[in-house]
Amino acid sequence: MTNDTSTGTVSAPKPAALEEKLEEQAFKLSAWMANQGIFIFTAALILFAAVFIDGFVSLPNITDVFNRAAPIGIVAAGMTFVVISGNYLDLSVVAQVATAGVVLIAVSNETSIPVAMLVAVVIALAYGLVNGVAVGVFKANAVIVTLSTTFIGLGLLRWATGGSIYFGPSDGAIRAFGATRIGPLPLAMILFVVVTLILSFVLTRTTFGFMVRSFGSNREATRLSGVSTPWVVIGAFTVTSLAAMLGGFVLAAFSNTAVSAMSDGYDFRALAAIIVGGTSVFGGRGSVLRTLLGVVFVSVLTNIMVLSGLGFGIQQMAIGLLIVLAVSVDALARKATGA
Amino acid sequence: MTDTQTQPQHAETDDARSDLISRVRTILGRRTEGRAVALLSVVVVITAITEPIVFTSYEVTLGRIALIGLVALGLTAVILMGELDLAVASTLAVSGVIMASFESITIGILAALGTGLLIGVVNAFFVIVVGINSFIATLGMLFFLRGAAFVISGEAPVRLANVDAGIAFGRPLIGPLSPRMLIFIAAFVMLHIFLTRVRAGREFYAVGGNREAAHDAGIPVTRRVFTGFMISGFVASLAGVINTLERTAADPTAGSAVLLASFAAAIIGGVLLNGGRGSVFGTLLGASSLGLLQVALTLSGVQVDVQNIVIGSVLLLAVITDPSSLRAAAGSMRALVRSRSGP
């Protein structure tokens, strides 16, 4: 069985030249898909939804899509930094989003909103530092490191809250932020676009952003050119943590409640959005604006599945498949360009 | 006179002693299980003092070690080649659910084990043929299979049709050893022999140490990677079958706690994440220390949340105290100091 798969591509009965040409074209196609595919796919998906899915084009539904897209989008925009720096992903955003949401509501109930935000910022910086030091200084694998910080973080949160739900005051500023909207656009969506623009500026126009991209494409060269690479990694993880914190705020404000389980699945939804947008998991290549597009794609896809009455299991399968397929296209595209 | 006679003799024994010491040092230096031995000793001493019941109720402890250890054994085969299989937890859940959906227990077990092999093949295909990094490929599979477990089970635990078989399975077979323990021991012995005595298994180390060199030396790298992922998928589904039999029901959410503990077991047991180094024996030591730790924490009434914090911390410590991580940290520190004092 294993024998077949390893030699299957070699023993095809076509002439070698023709096969090579076909292969080259397949590679070119995947390279084009990896770079430009997302624009077509997003447009096609929205068109499909508008034509075939009942209730997709309605003000309440579009507002709902925006409301759900905003927190994931903010998290994904931040996590793009970790992915571009060549460190795969930050699984611990699940713990970070929930912690920020719970802290915002629970602490502001006791004291005030600025104090709660300050506490959340301190926690976010701590997450960024722990993940960043373990990955940047100790060169440990980012997936394993953030897997363990997820369990530590969620464990601490559940232990501290006992799994209870926190409600914000019904006339507070948090509720007001979550409920305000301009036309179909909730305030959260506007915040998401602003965060995307700021992070995009940081990634493309600042020295730090340049270092993150350069570290992602060639670690050794970046180190030899005199960049303090541990700080680049710590910085990338801190950006992700601060974005995850904002995402937690937005998610908590949306429903004016917070619970330790509220961010389940944020890790892979954010990863799917980033990869589908065309940012490479191999590092170095990608942009925050592409992630914005990926978030639209994933959110519309999820919305279509919800409107069609598909269950949670199918949704998870679809997003998992989407990640594998998008990365496969990326991997084949890299082979095509010889990178 | 006597002095001159004893002097060379002294030197000779000194030589022999330093020779022995250096040989022991080389052997120890080649071993990678140091951290597992350290953790195991600490856990054994502390539990022996505070919670001696862990040792008197050894059936529970052994069962827990077998649960963590079995999945960790499969992982060891993959990590030795420098790859990772994050999908093991979902493989465990999916194969359990598939097994419970069949009326006949034999067909169910066969279907479950077949699923495990198939998942291994799919993982290996994406990793070695398509060329995706195994961390991302198996992460995608993790989510996909978790969803599949929900879909197949209808989002609720599936009861086993033949409950009697499950109850019979939980009984000790030989002395205090339950079938689960025996399967674990058999898997351990087989994998140990495979990795140390069989040519294909020895080649796992070569593939993990230097893939290019292994390929140039004529080792069929693709086939070895397929074998590795199939071992890990098969072993994970075996763990799923055992779980389902013991609980007489399959839970689609099973396995997330096992994921963390089994990774920690393999990594603290000295299996290098970059591949090429490690041993099944180290994984056994790692699994034993984590199993003891979990049972001790449970018996002293520590909540599951706090247990997750402890196991998570052990895993984090395990990856950053990896020899290569420590070397990297030392290098980074030097670089930091230099960049501070530099122009």
What's the half-sphere exposure (Cβ side, CA atoms, 13 Å) at B44? 12
Least confident of A101-115, A194-208, B261-275: B261-275
| CA–CA min distance A144, chain B (Å) | 8
DSSP codes, B206-235: HHHH-HHHHHHTT--HHHHHHHHHHHHHHH
Task: State residue A3's pLDDT score.
Answer: 41
For residue A31, which residues of chain B lie inside 8 Å, CB to CB?
none
pLDDT of residue A6 exceeding 50: no
Instruction: Kindly tell me the burial class for residue A73, based on how many C-beta atoms sit within 10 Å of its own C-beta (0-12, 13-18, 19 or more).
Output: buried
Does residue A331 lie in a domain region? Answer: yes
Residue A284 has pLDDT above 60, yes or no: yes
Residue range of the domain that includes A251: 38-337
For A314, nearest residue in chain B (alpha carbons) = B147
Contact status, residue B115 vs residue B94, Cβ threshold 8 Å? yes
Q: A316 vs B326: CB contact, 8 Å cut-off?
A: no
Mean pLDDT across the stretch B120-145?
92
More confident of the two residues B32 and A117 = A117
Question: Inter-chain contact A6–B222, Cβ cutoff 8 Å?
Answer: yes
A24, part of any domain: no
Give residue B6's pLDDT band: very low, low, confident or very high (50, 70, 90): very low
What confidence score (pLDDT) does residue B4 get? 45
pLDDT of B51 strictly over 80: no
| Report for B26-35, B46-55, B128-137, B267-276: range of highest mean pLDDT | B128-137
Please report the pLDDT score of residue A312 as a whole number: 85
Q: Over the stretch A139-163, which tens digit does the pLDDT of each residue have?
A: 898 999 999 999 999 999 999 998 8
Given this model, what pLDDT does residue B9 score? 52
Contact criterion met (CB < 8 Å) for A138 and B326: yes
Question: How many domains, chain A?
Answer: 1
Residue B165 to residue B105: CA distance in whole angstroms = 8
**Residue extents of the structural domains in chain B:** 33-337
Q: Is residue A156 part of a domain?
A: yes
The verdict on B140 touching A (C-beta cutoff 8 Å) is yes
Residue A69 included in any domain: yes
Question: Does residue A328 register a pLDDT over 50?
Answer: yes
**pLDDT at position B253, please?**
76
Q: pLDDT by residue (tens digit) across A25-52?
A: 777 777 777 677 788 888 899 999 988 8
Residue B308, min C-alpha distance to chain A (Å): 6
| ipTM computed for the complex | 0.84
Q: Do B329 and A145 touch (CB under 8 A)?
A: no
Please determine, for residue A180, whether its predicted confidence score (pLDDT) is greater than 90: no
Select the highest-mean-pLDDT range: A8-22, A194-208, B284-298: A194-208
CATH code of domain B33-337: 1.10.3470.10
Closest CA to B244 of B108, B339, B336, B116: B108
Average pLDDT over residues A201-217: 93
Share of chain A above pLDDT 70, in %: 94
Structure tokens at A5: 């798969």
Average pLDDT over residues A67-83: 94
Note the pLDDT of residue A4. 40
Residues A284-294 have a mean pLDDT of 90
C-beta atoms of A314 and B151 within 8 A:
yes
Spell out a b/e string for B75-97, using b for 16 or more CB atoms within 10 Å of the CB, else e: bbbbbbbbbbbbbbbbbbbbbbb
Whether the CB of B58 is below 8 Å from some CB of chain A: the reply is no
Place B178 in a pLDDT band, splitting at 50, 70 and 90: confident
Helix (H) or strand (E) holding B291: helix B280-299
Q: Is residue A21 part of a domain?
A: no
- Does A297 have pLDDT greater than 70? yes
Decide if B253 touches A, using CB distance below 8 A.
Answer: no
**Does A146 fall in a domain?**
yes
Q: According to the model, what pLDDT value does residue A9 have?
A: 44
Interchain pair A318, B227: CB under 8 A: no
The answer to whether B251 contacts chain A (CB < 8 Å) is no
Residue B223 at interface with chain A, using a CB cutoff of 8 Å: yes
pLDDT higher than 80, residue A88: yes
What is the per-residue pLDDT for B340? 53
Shortest Cα distance, chain B CAs vs residue A245, angstroms? 21
